[in-house]
Amino acid sequence: MGKRMKNRLTLIIFAVALVVMGFFAAQYHLSRLYEQQVEVGYRRALNEFATHMQELTVEMGRARLAISERQCQMVNSNFHRLVYAIQSNMGELPVEEIQLERIANLVNRVKNWDEGEIEELYRQMEYVSHELEQLLLRKEKKYPWVSWQEYLTASSVFPGLLQGLALINAELDDFKKPSRSGEIVGEEISEEQAIEVAREFSGSELDYQIINESTGTIPTYTVEGKVGEENILLEVSKKGGVVLWMISTKPADQTRLGTAELAMLGKEFLEERGFPPLYLTDAQSLQHRVIFTYVPKREEILYYGEPIKVQLSAADGSVLGFWGTPFYLAQSRVQEDKTTIQTEIAWIPREKVRQGVEILDQKFALVKNDQEEEILVQRLGVHYEGDYYLIYLNAQTGEEELIEQVSSSQFF
């Protein structure tokens, strides 16, 4: 090879190297820009959430004193505006790792408050607003500018932000309709027994200790397991000794397992802990993690009001989260439900479904409507023009209550 050819080859290699380096540099710059935008958006939503909760608390204080029609109308108008703002903020927060059901129920209840519960609502709102303010102050002091990825994986703020929100939620009364809530039954357990329950449920050999004790609607122990950088937080009911929820800080930094395989692992996790036959109804992905929702089936009926959620790492299939409070609460009224709906079961004619729809699966289900009332429906898993859907038909009227698209027949 001549000298000129060697020089030309060197220049080509150098040019290719520059192009490759430029490409990766541009990708890195775009990635960092996106991360900063997400982080700013997250911080904005979190601060707005706390601010709107504080404003709603102030309005609740005014509602306690308002008498004139004009003042009551202004208060109610502000209630609705702030409630929608708070719900929007909560939807923007990356807190799929935990359940904030009681906070959500409390905020939703404010829209339809009555005189008899105004003092209790105000007390609860005041508590949440104060605790959020303190939580943000602690976070700002300890983590002034942490990357958005660490927030999403909870590795940097645990047991700060997520634990704080979980504990705030756990201390609230549940403002759902009490007639359908049920209760957890069983003997009361000690702190030592709660630690043992947590250890057996998590399956991890960590150092466990009680870090909080709640005397709310469901008295509980909060148990933390910790070794080095690994943390697991579990809420154990004092009565009955069941794990209501669990979250772990184990990182999930890549996706190796598919949704179908993860769903089976989640189901196996629940079966090993004595849960009855369960059916998969939903899957949500976030940063190499997938949250699966399962519901129990009794007497040929799926009970959507008793969901059990399991979050798994797409990297290795390990369980990162569990939530089962609605399921445990419902067990005290299982026989009541069976008696109530036996006379309502009847298959709906095929004419209620559009022509050309292929029905692949039929089940009865008990679901909640827009008014949070439980109704019996016929759930159809269908295939139409290459897509899969679940159609929910009211068992009494045959009318469509809900139509939702799913990714595959796996959710039938």
Structure confidence by residue, pLDDT tens digits, 133-146 = 777 766 655 444 44
Question: Please, which pLDDT band fits residue 155 given cuts at 50, 70 and 90?
Answer: very low
More confident: 339 or 233: 233
- Distance in angstroms (rounded) separating the CA atoms of residues 149 and 170: 26
The per-residue pLDDT for 123 is 84
- Mean pLDDT computed over 132-161: 50
Are the C-beta atoms of 321 and 311 separated by less than 8 Å? Answer: yes
Range of weakest confidence among 111-120, 335-344, 346-355, 360-369: 335-344
The residues with which 292 forms a beta bridge, in sequence order, are 283, 310
pTM of the predicted model, to two decimals?
0.62
Among 346, 303, 294, which Cα is nearest to 324's? 294
Going from the C-alpha of 81 to that of each of 110, 215, 256, the distances in angstroms are 11, 32, 43
pLDDT digits (tens, 9 = 90+) for 191-230: 999 999 999 999 888 899 998 888 777 889 999 998 777 7
Which region, left, alpha or beta, applies to residue 356 given φ > 0 means left and ψ of -120 to 50 means alpha? left
Are the C-beta atoms of 76 and 83 separated by less than 8 Å? Answer: no
- Distance in angstroms (rounded) separating the CA atoms of residues 403 and 392: 6
- Distance in angstroms (rounded) separating the CA atoms of residues 293 and 308: 6
The per-residue pLDDT for 143 is 46
The per-residue pLDDT for 39 is 54
More confident: 355 or 67: 355
Question: Please, which pLDDT band fits residue 385 given cuts at 50, 70 and 90?
Answer: confident
The per-residue pLDDT for 9 is 64
Going from the C-alpha of 397 to that of each of 348, 372, 400, the distances in angstroms are 9, 18, 9
The per-residue pLDDT for 11 is 63
Amino acid at 304: Y
Crossing angle (nearest 10°) for helices 3-63 and 69-92:
150
Tell me the percentage of the chain whose pLDDT exceeds 70: 70
